[in-house]
Amino acid sequence: MTDQTQKDFLVEESLRRRSELSSPENRLDRMIEIRAVEGKLQSLFNDGFIRGSTHLSNGQEAISVGIAATITTSDWVTCTYRGHGTALSLGVTPTAVVGEIAGRVIGCVGGLGGSMHLCGVEVGLLPTFAIVGAGYPVAAGAALTAQYQGTSDIAVAICGDGATNIGAFYETLNLASIWKLPVIFVVENNLYGEYSRIQLTTPIEDLAQRADSFAMPGVIVDGQDLDAVMDAMTAAVSRARAGEGPTLLEMKTYRYSGHSRADQANYRPAGELDEWLLRDPINLYAHSLGISDAELEERRRVINAEVDMATEVALASPEPPIADLFEFV
Ligand SMILES: Cc1ncc(C[n+]2csc(CCOP(=O)(O)OP(=O)(O)O)c2C)c(N)n1
Ligand SMILES: [Mg+2]
């Protein structure tokens, strides 16, 4: 297969993978896949296959899968540098994600973007943002386009708790409310912004409260519970499509890893991670589906093997030629 044929195939695969999310068991498998890819990326980083930085989203899988399962491929999504799980949830293949992060031609941006700039326009993923809060106005812009053109498309903007202290967050919520834009603002409140716990940077605990100033609903959601995420999203999606305007959803969650690459997260209080592990989104959802621990283990084994294969394909792809650096400037 040529590089181009291989890439066309991956785009078709993305659309097929997205449609799979209508089944609960496939949603469980997608969360397991995200966890497997993040584990693989950490070891590729340790082994020197990944340059720059990388930010893992393990622990936050229910949020991205819940969002992807409740919107369509013509809706638009912006998210942060912690967006591997969002890309995989929306359908981008493990090969295209790992390939991009390892800087290979087969990657979803041809290996030129890297970990913080994943993209999959065929499934609605606008390029992910390295600048804190920067995806918010862009998502509002996508929502304005839909409103102006009279389509029923909506946009979803995903940012972290820290980003709710950034000016772009306030300006976007204000305008979106005034213009009743079809946009959903999702805050992944994982309690940390880089190496600072939330109470050191933010004077309130429940960020959903911030919606009050903009006269839009602000909802606290259990971000570890896939069904709760889907319920909250479904209500916000209906509101947006009905022309009633934006909603702010605060997803309470936790990132299992440190902020990025080699961060061991030694600044976290003892026992905090263990407490969150008790409410692991994959385990919770598997149990809610009546799946036994043994079956869950088997699913993990199969999916880990698939991710190993996807990684082999990704790493067999060449790095882009140096001349490509100037091709898209
Ligand atoms: C405008 C801007 N300021 C600072 C940074 C450096 N920075 C990168 S990630 C981060 C923390 C953001 O935390 P949060 O919004 O909670 O997202 P999380 O990493 O927890 O997902 C900061 C300050 C940046 N990328 N952009
Ligand atoms: Mg955070």
pLDDT band at 3 (very low <50, low <70, confident <90, very high): confident
Output DSSP code: residue 44.
Answer: H
The alpha-helical segments, DSSP class H, found in 263-320 are 272-277, 281-288, 293-316
Query: Best of 194, 207, 259, 260 to mutate for ligand 1, by most ligand atoms within 8 A of CB?
Result: 194
Q: At what angle do helices 293-316 and 24-46 cross, to 10 degrees?
A: 50
Is residue 261's pLDDT more than 90? Answer: no
Please report the pLDDT score of residue 5 as a whole number: 85
Q: Are strands 183-189 and 192-193 parallel, antiparallel or unpaired?
A: unpaired
Q: Among residues 80, 153, 155, 91, which one has the least CA distance to residue 122?
A: 91
What spacing in Å lies between the alpha carbon of 87 and ligand 1's midpoint?
19
Provide DSSP, 82-118.
S-HHHHHHHT--HHHHHHHHTT-TTSTTTTSS-TT--
Q: For residue 202, give both structure tokens.
A: 């933010």
Is residue 274's pLDDT more than 90? Answer: yes
Mean pLDDT of 106-131: 96
Higher-pLDDT residue of 261 and 139 is 139
Distance CA 130, CA 121 (A): 18
- Structural domains present in the chain: 3-322 (3.40.50.970)
Q: Among residues 179, 182, 132, which one has the least CA distance to residue 158?
A: 132
Q: Among residues 97, 70, 95, which one has the least CA distance to residue 83?
A: 97
Q: Which residues line ligand 1 (CB under 6 A)?
A: 80, 82, 130-132, 159-163, 188, 190, 192-194, 259
Q: Is the dihedral of CA 4, 327, 94, 60 positive or negative?
A: negative
pLDDT in tens, 171-195: 999 999 999 999 999 999 999 999 9
Provide DSSP, 112-167.
SS-TT---BGGGTBPPPBSSTTTHHHHHHHHHHHHHHHT----EEEEEETGGGGSH
Query: Best of 53, 61, 128, 132 to mutate for ligand 1, by most ligand atoms within 8 A of CB?
Result: 132
